[in-house]
Structure 1
Amino acid sequence: MSNILFIVEGAKDEPKYIEQFIQYHKEVMEKNGNHVSPIIVQSYGTLIYDLYRKISSYKMDDEFETIPVLLELLKSKSIAYDAELDDYEKFSDIFLFFDLDAHYYCKRKDRNEILCESMNDLLSFFNESTEKGKLLISYPMFEALKCFNDDFINESNVTLHSFNIYEVEKKGSSTTFKQKYKCISSDCYNNPDYSNEKIEKLVQYFIYGSMHLVENEANITNSESIFINQFEKFIKPNEQVVILSSFPHFIVDIFGIEKYVDDMKRKVYLKDISEHP
């Protein structure tokens, strides 16, 4: 039996929230009469840039395998790991869920350029789940998942939100993302016990958000295309991103958009959550 590996950044919140998406994936697969592969969740414990920097010395190796290298890194950091990873040949797919974490470069004068270069390298490297893994990014960070209110979608309109990527964790600032998203988020999305209905609303919202960026249904789940459009349309001119979560991205990557959205012709409004009190 083949397994699926989820590599997540955090050790606490991410595993709690992603468990609901794993259960949803299982239920939909069973409903469709498909085989359900076990999903193993492994926390890496720090930024995607750290992971990439540490594997960069291996990446030109044609025999590169993500899981053995990951195990080596986890052991070197004394991070506990699931015993299933020791038999890495049992894994058919790998998904990496990480934050954009642009504030990693916030003190650099060329921060936009180095962010673009780093993300392009990462997304071109982790671009296929059945090979080295597929990287799915939360913009600007994990809490994007909670940045949702049912009123954001109605029969004719969709309200998307943006945020400055370098204000995410700025010390002494009243505009950090963790402070501001709560101004527009519904309390029920701060609780990790998501119902199927909540998950499907978040998936629908991801589809509209991604479509607003890529403007082509074929690229809705293309991580590289999403980032390129975030960079060209929002980061480069304004140092902002459209807020998107990587967890619904996985669901759309597996099941497509037809189950969730039958009409893309809705007026899209974009608001900056920094403007909220």
Structure 2
Amino acid sequence: MNLSARQVLVVSEGHTEVRLLKRLFEEFNLLLPDIVSLNANLYKLYLEYESYECDYSDLDITAVLRSCSQVGTKDKEKLRGKSATDFTDIFLVFDLDPHTPDFNEEALRKLLSHFNDSSDVGKLYINYPMVESFYHVPHAVLDGNIRTFPPIRFTLSELTAYKKRVNLEGIKQSRRYTQDEYKNVIQRHAGIVSLITEASVRSTHELKVQVGLFEIQQADIKSSREAIVVNTFCLLIPEIYPSKCHLEEIQKD
């Protein structure tokens, strides 16, 4: 498909996702998507869908967002007169937030099961533990080194201060990076997903891999109250624009 023919809608949790999405799309010279912020976490989206008391497949996400009190007026205006069929791709990008009181494992499974196709109802990407994980990589990753190893782990007990940890250990959130540097960071996260799920790097955006990632991470959280830091929503770039952000398989030692 001609890149200019793509009409992409991204439903984000908040403003941090919006800023990062814009930076990525601009640096890769891509047409900016329509971005609508829910201004609430994934569990609020779940409650919104549940409030209709019907099968999720009967709902059009654009109509749900237009009627949602959490969505701002300007964002609702972006969806005026539109339906899901007006977009070639729809993505939802949200945080796992396993430390919050409203964390709901079964709700996540239901949402992952429904949002399973970016070209239809939409596709859900979950960040572990939150969107700032994109920047939580070793500095050497920017130069194309240590693309996958070693993985970084987080514990539930530290998550209220996780953003401070990212500022101390990760790359700068305020800095704009080159296209190659962003590619290296995305490659790193794809490599981590591959490491966790044993899937190929180039398949890490696939739904079955993302579902497998959730189940493995959730099992670790339940058993040890910790899991591996990995950002998944950045994979939407190589998913829909593989020629712009080509992923390489990691050579195993």
> Given the two structures, how large is their TM-score scaled by the length of structure 1?
0.76
Query: Which AA in structure 2 matches 1:71?
Result: R
Secondary structure at 1:103's aligned position in 2? coil
Deviations 1:133-182, CA, capped at 9 Å, x for gaps: 1111111011111212332563697221010135311xxxxxx2112222
Task: Give the structure with higher Rg (CA).
Answer: 1
The aligned residue for residue 150 of structure 2 is 159
Structure 1 counterpart of 2:232, from 237, 243, 246: 246
Shift of 1:250: 1.2
Structure 1 spans left out of the alignment, 5+ residues: 28-35, 107-113, 170-175, 267-277
Equivalence map 1:53-92=2 (5 Å):
53-58=47-52, 59-60=54-55, 62-73=57-68, 76-77=69-70, 79-82=72-75, 83-89=77-83, 90-92=86-88
Q: What is residue 182 of structure 1 aligned with on the other side? A: 167
Instruction: Tell me: CA distance 1:264–1:87, structure 2 relative to 1, closer, same or farther (3 Å).
Output: farther
Asked if the contact 2:138–2:169 (Cα under 8 Å) also holds between the matched residues in 1, the reply is yes
After the TM superposition, which of the residue ranges 151-160 and 91-100 deviates more from structure 2? 151-160
Q: Is the 8 A contact 1:16 1:192 kept in 2?
A: no
Identity %: 23
Q: Which stretches in structure 2 are left out of the alignment for 5+ residues?
A: none
* Residues 262 and 125 of structure 1: CA distance in aligned 2, closer, same or farther (over 3 Å): closer
Name the structure with the higher strand share: 1
SS for the counterpart of 1:135 is: strand
The corresponding residue for 1:15 is 18
* Counterpart in the other structure of 2:187: 204
Number of residue pairs aligned between Structure 1 and Structure 2: 238
Task: Name the structure 2 match of 1:172.
Answer: none
The residue identity in structure 1 corresponding to 2:131 is F
Describe the shift of the 1:53–1:192 C-alpha distance in structure 2 as closer, same or farther (beyond 3 A): farther
The alpha-carbon distance between structure 1 residues 264 and 227, as it changes in their structure 2 partners (threshold 3 A), is farther
TM value normalised by structure 2: 0.82
**1: CA distance, partners of 2:71 / 2:112:** 27
After superposition, the CA RMSD in angstroms is: 2.6
- Maintained 8 Å contact 1:167/1:177: yes
Higher relative contact order (CA 8 A, sep 6+): 1
Q: Which amino acid aligns with 2:168?
A: C
Relative to structure 1, the CA distance from residue 246 to residue 192 in structure 2 (aligned partners, 3 Å threshold; closer, same or farther) is farther
TM superposition outliers: structure 1 runs of 4+ over 6 Å: none
Change (3 A) 1:131 1:185: same
